[in-house]
Amino acid sequence: MDRESIRKSFRPSKISILFVGESPPANGAFFYVCSPMTRYMAQVFGDVLGREFQSVNHFLNVFMAENCYLDDLSYTPVDNLARLERRGIINSCVAALGERMAEYQPEQVIAILKSIDAPVRRAAQLAELHVPVYSIPFPGHGNQRRFVLQLSDLLKSINALVP
C-alpha cells in the first residue's frame, strides 16, 4: 500500500483544519484506509455534523469536503520503538512537517497526541503560521472517550464544521 499516494488523494485544495498524528501505526492500519482512529473521528464528525456515514470512504470524502486533512509528523511508524528512539525520530521530522505546513496554510492545527504538541508547535513556527494550534489525546490506550469528547467540544467551540 502506498500510504502517501492514498493520503494525497484525500487532500483538499484548501485546508481549514490540519490534523497531525505522530505516525502511521506499525501494525499497517492507516487513517485513510481504515483504522480505529478513522472510526473515532467519524463518530465525532457524525455527532458534530448531525450525519451518519454509510462507509469509511463516505466519511473520508466528507472529511475532505469539510477541508480537513490528516498528516503525520513521521511517515515511518514509530509506535513500536523505544521512547528515546521514538522521540529522536519525531524531532528529526519537525522541519519537514514545517515545510508541508507552509505549503498547506491551514487555518487551524490539531495535534492528535498530547506528547506531540511541542513538535507540532515548532513546525507551525517554522512554517511561520499564525494560527491556533490545539492538542487532544490519541484515541487509544483507554483515551477513546476523552478523544471523542475533547475533539467534539473543540470542533463545536471553534465552529469549525457547518452542519
**pLDDT tens for the chain, residues 1 to 163:** 689 999 999 999 999 999 999 999 999 889 999 899 999 999 999 999 999 999 999 999 999 999 999 999 999 999 999 999 999 999 999 999 999 999 999 999 999 999 999 999 999 999 999 999 999 999 988 999 999 999 999 999 987 776 5
**Crossing angle (nearest 10°) for helices 36-49 and 56-65:** 60
**Beta carbons of 71 and 100 less than 8 angstroms apart:** yes
Distant-in-sequence, close-in-space partners of 41: CB < 8 Å, separation ≥ 6: 19, 31, 59, 63, 139, 151
pLDDT at 1: 64
d(CA 138, CA 113): 5
d(CA 163, CA 155): 11
pTM: 0.95
CATH of 14-157, one of 3.40.47.10, 3.80.10.10, 2.60.120.620, 3.40.470.10: 3.40.470.10
d(CA 2, CA 132): 31
d(CA 38, CA 138): 12
